[in-house]
């Protein structure tokens, strides 16, 4: 019985994502989602209170992955040399691109098709949440490496987090080849490592 319920839920989510992408959240039809999923509208409401909750559930895989990546790469145990090491940063950039590829449709849905839903606040929520975590991370770095400069304006960090989300949006908006993405990765690493080294007062 649980397997059947899981299959029904997956079918609803799959069809909801298609409908939201096709028409945008505001114009998406619960009746169409139900019909394409092979269930009744009342069945959808057994699982989700409303269309907004369904939208949120569709988007959560990327939201959780993005939050996890932020935490994974900014912990109290992070070595500052890794932050300024091109090879380490290249791995981080490649992991970001792999995540974007995996959740491309959901990202497009959140960034460009979510008007009218609570997910339309994702940009602001992500930027604020990530900025707060980076500020915490900088505090830990200052304790671990007292000689580095962490006197960075909060708004610069805020803008940098927003820039990361803009980069993600640009990647999903363009059909880039693997070669183009690799070139972007190399350029991004050169730019970011040199910039943060200068900011921290460190020589690479």
How many CA atoms lie within 13 Å of 11's alpha carbon, on the beta-carbon side?
Answer: 16
Q: Which of 196, 71, 57, 82 is nearest to 132 (CA)?
A: 71
- pLDDT of amino acid 182: 92
| 31 and 64 housed in the same domain | no
Residue 187 placed within a domain: yes
**Residue of 35 and 194 predicted with greater confidence:** 35
How many structural domains comprise the chain?
A: 2
Backbone dihedral region for residue 116 (phi beyond 0: left; psi -120 to 50: alpha; all else: beta): left
pLDDT digits 0-9 by tens, 19-60 = 999 999 999 999 999 999 999 999 999 999 999 999 999 999
Residue 90 placed within a domain: yes
- pLDDT of amino acid 2: 57
Residue 53 placed within a domain: no
- pLDDT of amino acid 59: 98
| 172 and 195 housed in the same domain | yes
**Residue of 129 and 194 predicted with greater confidence:** 129
| 101 and 195 housed in the same domain | yes
Average pLDDT over residues 156-161: 93
Average pLDDT of the chain? 91
Domain range for 63 is 59-200
| 44 and 63 housed in the same domain | no
| 83 and 36 housed in the same domain | no
């Amino acid at each position: 019985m649980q397997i059947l319920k899981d299959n029904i839920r997956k079918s609803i989510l799959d069809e909801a994502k298609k409908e939201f992408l096709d028409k945008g959240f505001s114009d998406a039809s619960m009746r169409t989602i139900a019909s394409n999923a092979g269930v009744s509208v009342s069945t959808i409401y057994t699982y989700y209170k409303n269309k907004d909750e369904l939208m949120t559930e569709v988007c959560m895989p990327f939201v959780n992955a993005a939050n996890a990546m932020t935490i994974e790469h900014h912990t109290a145990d992070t070595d500052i040399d890794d932050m300024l090491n091109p090879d380490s940063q290249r791995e981080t950039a490649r992991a970001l691109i792999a995540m974007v590829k995996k959740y491309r449709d959901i990202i497009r849905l959140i960034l460009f098709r979510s008007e009218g839903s609570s997910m339309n606040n994702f940009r602001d929520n992500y930027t604020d949440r990530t900025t707060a975590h980076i500020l915490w991370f900088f505090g830990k770095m200052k304790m671990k490496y007292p000689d580095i400069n962490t006197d960075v304006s909060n708004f610069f960090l805020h803008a940098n987090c927003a820039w990361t989300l803009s980069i993600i949006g640009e990647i999903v908006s363009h059909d880039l080849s693997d070669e183009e993405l690799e070139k972007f990765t190399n350029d991004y690493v050169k730019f970011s490592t040199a910039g943060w080294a200068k900011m921290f007062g460190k020589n690479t």
